[in-house]
Amino acid sequence: MKFGTKAIHAGQHPDPTTGAIMTPIYQTSTYWQESPGKHKGYAYARGKNPTRKALEDCLAALENAKYGLAFSSGMGATDAVVKLLHPGDEVITGNDLYGGSYRMFTKVFANYGIKFHFIDMADANNINNYINANTKLLWIETPTNPTMQIVDIEAVSKIAKANQVIFAVDNTFASPYLQNPIDLGADIVMHSVTKYLGGHSDVVMGALLTNDEKLYDQLAFIHNSCGATPGPMDSFLVLRGIKTLHLRMKAHCENGRQIAAFLKSHPKVDKLYWPGFTDHPNHEIAKKQMRDFGGMISFTMKGADLNETFRVASSFKVFSLAESLGGVESLINHPASMTHASIPKEEREKAGVVDSLLRLSVGVEDIEDLLADLKQALA
């Protein structure tokens, strides 16, 4: 089954009671039991809900996975993965990382005796310099947030398997439309469903997908026990959003390509980060593991201090200055003071997250309006 067909149909069936084509919103906290323990597969909604189950099956299908779990946020999903570990365990992850993940790793789980290594993963072999008997998890983003670094998923997978280490990929920036890490050897795929999968900036949600039954059982236990589960209304909204994922992603990619080309020739733009350029670091790897290059773009401006960067960020008329990404509307973000503010200045600047960096989430508006907005804001 092709991607667009899966996006519309996977995990969803006509309602057996009414024949409704759309998955009903099962707005209930509990379920009738014929006798204690004898029920229709649902006992309490934190554990399972039919609307959420349809979404989980759909998400799994999009990532070519057998099992899916939906969480109340991307951070809830990330939290569940790290809870697979124990004090003394070590994690190797990238040095360009979503600020929320960095904050969770360093301010929460480090307090419980888990050690994190934040390293340059442009060359996957660098992982071998840090891996040891205590390493239990490799956690990567690709493309990374916000400097769009590309990590070779297949190469990291080989290292993980050789050392019997769990390998998880945050696939939020690419979406399953552009990249499927499980096909390249990942054990777990994480999504901030809030972003491209939901696609309309009206839901906060996360997800984990895997083919490993043992990992799924462990994660499902954490999911139910710790309770980071989404409600049926949010599940319905994401199911609805996913039906146009393939159409939206085509538009994001088309608009992103034109905006990247415009910025590349703009006299005020200094560094430009978009993996579709042949001179982007690891472009050939991106070309190999992605189907297209997406609508996420970051850039710095020549000679711009913090005040000038703020002025530009606040000058847009069509792009909205806001957190998040992946919605139909175009957004602009200042990572150093917004999404990555929790990372110490010295650490984030090493990865290129400087004060003059701006991140664009290119939406699906008419390209002429987006280009005109960029021209006037950068004037």
The pLDDT of residue 260: 98
| Angular region, 175: left φ>0, alpha ψ -120 to 50, beta rest | left
Please name every residue paired with 117 in a beta bridge, in sequence order, or none if there are none: 92
The pLDDT of residue 198: 98
Candidates 6, 53, 67, 98; catalytic one: 98
Q: Average pLDDT in the 128-152 region?
A: 98
* Catalytic residue list contains 177: no
Omega before 146 within 30 of 0, i.e. cis:
yes
The pLDDT of residue 105: 98
Task: State CA 334 to chain mean position distance.
Answer: 18
Convert the pLDDT of each residue in 236-258 to its tens digit: 999 999 999 999 999 999 999 99
Token digits for 234?
Answer: 């949010």
Mapped onto helix, strand or coil, the DSSP state of residue 370 is helix
For residues 153 and 184, the answer to whether their CB atoms sit within 8 Å is: yes
The pLDDT of residue 251: 98
Convert the pLDDT of each residue in 203-229 to its tens digit: 999 999 999 999 999 999 999 999 999
* Catalytic residue list contains 96: no
For residues 62 and 37, the answer to whether their CB atoms sit within 8 Å is: no
Candidates 79, 152, 170, 234; catalytic one: 170
Candidates 195, 248, 257, 359; catalytic one: 195
Convert the pLDDT of each residue in 278-315 to its tens digit: 999 999 999 999 999 999 999 999 999 999 999 999 99
Mapped onto helix, strand or coil, the DSSP state of residue 59 is helix
Q: Average pLDDT in the 37-47 region?
A: 94
For residues 11 and 56, the answer to whether their CB atoms sit within 8 Å is: yes
Distance CA 106, CA 174 (A): 25
User: Which domains, and CATH codes, for the chain?
Assistant: 3-242 (3.40.640.10), 245-378 (3.90.1150.10)
Distance CA 356, CA 335 (A): 9
Distance CA 197, CA 180 (A): 14
Convert the pLDDT of each residue in 64-93 to its tens digit: 999 999 999 999 999 999 999 999 999 999
Candidates 31, 42, 46, 57; catalytic one: 46
Residue type, 121: M
Distance CA 111, CA 104 (A): 10
Q: Where are the alpha helices (DSSP H) in 99-244?
A: 99-107, 153-162, 175-178, 213-226, 232-242
The pLDDT of residue 70: 98
Convert the pLDDT of each residue in 318-373 to its tens digit: 999 999 999 999 999 999 999 898 889 888 998 899 999 999 999 999 999 999 99
The pLDDT of residue 301: 97
Average pLDDT across the chain, whole number:
97
* Catalytic residue list contains 195: yes
